[in-house]
C-alpha cells in the first residue's frame, strides 16, 4: 500500500524534516557545545539550533529520565515481585517478552510507510499527528509506561533502549494505512529509556476491532539511532489490556463497536495471545474520568 502520510516537501523551515537521523546528528552537535553556549542552558541551545522540533528529542536522549512531558518514568524492579505481569527476582532473573507479529500496519518501512525516518517521531504524547498532518485521536486517555530490562546484563535497566509504539484509534483504524486516516500519523511514537529503563507514552485507549483482543504494538531497539533505521531490532511484541478495564471503557461514547467486538473474542482465543499472555498483560489503574495508566515490564 502506498504511503499517503504527511509529506513535508515545501513545508516548514529549511532542514526541518530531514528525518530522525538528522535530528540525532544535531543532538550530537549539541552535546559537544562548550563555553558560552553551554552556559546558555538547554533552552538557549535549542534557540541557537532552531530547536522547536528538536525539543522532544533532546528531552528523550539516552541516559535521561524523559517520559511524556514531565511524567516520571517507572522504576525497574529487581526485588522479588511482579511488575506488569513479568516476574523478577532478587537474583536478577526475568522473563523475556514474547516475540509477536508486527501486523500489517507497522509503518517501520517493512510494509509500505516508514514513520521512523521522520523528524518529530520521538515524542511522549502520541495523540496528535506531527509534521504537516494535524489530526488528533479522540478517546479515553491512556498513559503507557514501559520498563525495559536487559536480559544479557542480568535484567538491569536498559538505559537508552528505544521503543517504537503504535496502535489503532477509537474506530479501529491505523494511521498511515486506513483510508480515512491515511494522511495522519498519530498514535505512533518513539521514546528512549532513561537510566531506570523507563519511558512513558501519552495516548488514548485503543479499540477492539473484529478478530483481535485490545492491544498495542511495540518494537524495541538498542538506541534511537538504531530505531531511526529500523535496524538491530531486539524485540517485536504486543501489550494486552485487561478485560475488566476494556468492559468499562467500551461502555462509554465512541466505543460501541468495540463493545460488540470484545464479546466475540477473548485473550485465550486471540490469534496472538492464545499461546500465553502472562508477560504481555499490562497492569492498568485509573478511571474513565481521570484516564488510565498501563504499566508493563519488557525484558529483551
| Separation of first and last alpha carbons in the chain | 31
Cell of 22: 538528522
Identify the residue whose cell numbers are 485473550. Answer: 267
DSSP-based three-state secondary structure for 187: coil
Q: Which residues pair with 218 in a beta bridge?
A: 165, 237
Angle among Cα 163, 140, 120 to the nearest 5 degrees reads 35
Kind and range of the H or E run holding 43:
helix 41-48
Specify the higher pLDDT residue, 5 or 152.
Answer: 152
Cα distance between residue 222 and residue 239, in whole Å:
19
228-232 mean pLDDT: 95
The answer to whether residues 267 and 246 touch, using CB atoms and an 8 Å cutoff, is: no
Say how many CA atoms lie within 13 Å of 103 toward its Cβ.
21
Cell numbers placing 109: 518501512
Cα separation, 77 vs 283, whole angstroms? 14
What's the whole-model pTM score? 0.73
Give the angle 84-116-45 at the CA atoms, nearest 5°. Answer: 95
Q: Taking a C-beta distance cutoff of 8 angstroms, is the pair 158, 109 a contact? A: no
Buried b or exposed e, range 278-291, using 16+ CB within 10 angstroms: ebbbbbbebeeeee
What phi, psi does 261 have (nearest 5°)?
-65, -35
pLDDT value of residue 24:
55
Look at residue 26 and tell me whether its pLDDT is greater than 90. no
Supply 87's cell numbers.
516476574
pLDDT over 90 for what percent of the chain? Answer: 68
Give the pLDDT confidence score for residue 16 in this predicted structure: 34
In this predicted model, what pLDDT tens digit does every residue of 82-141 receive, in sequence order? 344 444 433 345 999 999 999 999 999 999 999 998 999 999 999 999 999 999 999 999
Q: What pLDDT, on a 0 to 100 scale, did the predictor assign at position 21?
A: 54
DSSP designation for 75: P
Instruction: Report the mean per-residue pLDDT for the chain.
Output: 78
pLDDT value for 29? 38
Q: What is the DSSP letter of 147?
A: E
CA-atom Rg of the chain in angstroms: 19
> How buried is 275 (Cβ within 10 angstroms: 0-12 exposed, 13-18 middle, 19+ buried)?
exposed
How many other β-carbons are positioned within 10 Å of the β-carbon of residue 181? 23
Element (H, E) at 87: strand 86-88
Q: Regarding predicted confidence, which is higher, 158 or 84? A: 158
Q: What confidence score (pLDDT) does residue 23 get? A: 53
**CB count, 10 Å around CB of 230?**
17
Amino acid at each position: 500500500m502506498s504511503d499517503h502520510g504527511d509529506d513535508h516537501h515545501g513545508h516548514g523551515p529549511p532542514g526541518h524534516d530531514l528525518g530522525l537521523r538528522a535530528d540525532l546528528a544535531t543532538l550530537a552537535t549539541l552535546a559537544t557545545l562548550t563555553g558560552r553556549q553551554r552556559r546558555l542552558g538547554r533552552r538557549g541551545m535549542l534557540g541557537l539550533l532552531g530547536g522547536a522540533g528538536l525539543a522532544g528529542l533532546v528531552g528523550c536522549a539516552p541516559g535521561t529520565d524523559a517520559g511524556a512531558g514531565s511524567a516520571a518514568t517507572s522504576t525497574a524492579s529487581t526485588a522479588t515481585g511482579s511488575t506488569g505481569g513479568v516476574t523478577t527476582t532478587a537474583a536478577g532473573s526475568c522473563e523475556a517478552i514474547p516475540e509477536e507479529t508486527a501486523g500489517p500496519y507497522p509503518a517501520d518501512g517493512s510494509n509500505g510507510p516508514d514513520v521512523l525516518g521522520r523528524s518529530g517521531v520521538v515524542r511522549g504524547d502520541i495523540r496528535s499527528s506531527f509534521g504537516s498532518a494535524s489530526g488528533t485521536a479522540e478517546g479515553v486517555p491512556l498513559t503507557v509506561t514501559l520498563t525495559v530490562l536487559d536480559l544479557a546484563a542480568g535484567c538491569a535497566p536498559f538505559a537508552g533502549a528505544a521503543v517504537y509504539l503504535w496502535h489503532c484509534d477509537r474506530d479501529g483504524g491505523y494511521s498511515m494505512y486506513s483510508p480515512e486516516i491515511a494522511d495522519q500519523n498519530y498514535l505512533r511514537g518513539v521514546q528512549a529509556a532513561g537510566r531506570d529503563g523507563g519511558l512513558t507514552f501519552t495516548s488514548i485507549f485503543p479499540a477492539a476491532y473484529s478478530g483481535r483482543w485490545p492491544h498495542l504494538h511495540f518494537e524495541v531497539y538498542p538506541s534511537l539511532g538504531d530505531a531511526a533505521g529500523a535496524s538491530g531490532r531486539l524485540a517485536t511484541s504486543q501489550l494486552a489490556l485487561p478485560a475488566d478495564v476494556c468492559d468499562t471503557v467500551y461502555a462509554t461514547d465512541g466505543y460501541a463497536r468495540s463493545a460488540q467486538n470484545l464479546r466475540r473474542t477473548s485473550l485465550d482465543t486471540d490469534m496472538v495471545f492464545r499461546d500465553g499472555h502472562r508477560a504481555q498483560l499490562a497492569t492498568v489503574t485509573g478511571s474513565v474520568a481521570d484516564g488510565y495508566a498501563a504499566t508493563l515490564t519488557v525484558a529483551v
